[in-house]
Each structure stands twice: as structure tokens, then as C-alpha cells.
Amino acid sequence: MTKIGKRTRAAREAFDGKDNLSVQEAVALIKSNANAKFDETVEIALNLGVDPRHADQMVRGVVGLPNGTGKDVRVAVFARGAKADEAKEAGADIVGAEDLMETIQGGEINFDRCIATPDMMPIVGRLGKVLGPRNLMPNPKVGTVTMDVGEAVKNAKGGEVQFKAEKAGVVHAGVGKVSFDEGKLVENIRAFIGAVARAKPTGAKGTYMKKIALSSTMGPGVSVDVAEATAE
């Protein structure tokens, strides 16, 4: 039987019996009980009433968090010539074409976001089996296949978060760090929830947003009152 540490036990006791909190209350609880030796990420998980296996029930999108994520996002860009220069000037960490494709095929994926100009997609398309499962495949729907690579790089570096429903209809993301001010975390969380709400697909039936939970990287989760969290 796995032994539970004092910190974990104390955190569980603090969360015990606390359900359907307001976003503000949940953030306060998470911040006061995050005691890891590193700056934990505040994570959100939304259970949606969709089946992503059906095209008309897929949920995906992008949202710019008003206060950023607190994470240093490494960006790779597939581009040539002037567009490659534009990406570098905007702060892209890795820029290339066939050489970048070969690096990725060799198993080296040292980036968190992948952007491509439209003319590079025949090359990027060969990496579908590698980038797809990692949710790194460039897609025009979320602005990562674009001629405006400079703006896309700046957005990625500035706190833009992509989201996509997984098989069970769950969307999850990091929405800041526990070191953030409480108010800034609340703003980020509400912005993320709002973006997912607006991304409701035409094929969604019944209750769309079923459950919302928040946690820190090492802490237990707490459920959030859906009505309060989605109120305008």
C-alpha cells in the first residue's frame, strides 16, 4: 500500500467536503494548499457533453489568457526565406523546413507550439503521426497555419492557449501559476471557460458543460459551480 505523505494528507483534508465552489473560492483554496518546492501550474479540466468522435461534436479552439500562463513557451516554425526571418525576429526558438522535419522524425521535439506557413504543409503533413498525438500539428482553425507567422509567434509566447476535447469529452489546460495573484488567476480561468463555451459545436446535445474542476500540479482537485463559472 502506498504511503501518503503529510503534505498530501493535509491537502486532502483541506479539500474534503468542499465541492461546487465559486471560481474565487476554488482559487483561494488551491493557492493556500499548494506547497510543492516549485511554482505549480493551476490546471483546469472541463467535462463536456460531447463525443469528439463525431465531427459535429468536436471542440477545439484557442484563447489568449489576459494574464499569460507563466510558462516559457518554446515555438517551432516551418517557414522559408522572408517568413523564416520574420519568425526569428518575433522570437521563435526553432525555425526550419526539411531540416526541421528530419529533426522531428529523429525524435527530437524541443518545442511546445508548432506554426507553419501554408506552403510548408506538404512537409509538415508527413509528421502527422508524430505531432498529432501530441496536439502539436499546425491547424488553420487555431491560427497556427498562417502567413502572419510573426503575430502567431508573439501570441504563442504571450499566453495563448490551445484546447481540444479528448476522447471522453474532456478539455484541460494550464491557466496560470499558483504564484499569480488570486484575481489574475480568476480572470484567466473565466477567459478560458468563456472560450470553451463559445466553441460549443452544433452537434452538442443536452447539457454542454457538465463539470469543471481546478487543481494545482501536485494538489487534489476541487469542483467548481458550473452556473457561477459560466455566468456573464
Query: In this predicted model, what pLDDT tens digit does every residue of 63-91 receive, in sequence order?
Result: 999 999 999 999 999 999 999 999 999 99
pLDDT at 105 over 90: yes
pLDDT of residue 159: 86
Averaged pLDDT for residues 98-110: 96
pLDDT at 8 over 80: no
Closest CA to 72 of 157, 174, 136: 157
- The partner residues of 48 in beta bridges, in order of sequence, read 209
User: What radius of gyration do the chain's Cα atoms show?
Assistant: 19
- The partner residues of 64 in beta bridges, in order of sequence, read 160
pLDDT at 128 over 70: yes
Backbone angles phi, psi at 151, to 5 degrees: -65, -40
Percent of the chain with pLDDT over 90: 84
Whether 50 contacts 59, CB under 8 Å = yes
Tens of pLDDT, residue by residue over 18-52, are 788 999 999 999 999 998 899 999 999 999 999 99
Closest CA to 67 of 187, 156, 231: 187
pLDDT of residue 84: 98
pLDDT of residue 212: 97
Confidence of residue 14 (pLDDT cuts 50, 70, 90): low
pLDDT of residue 9: 62
pLDDT of residue 16: 60
pLDDT of residue 231: 86
pLDDT of residue 202: 93
Averaged pLDDT for residues 173-185: 96
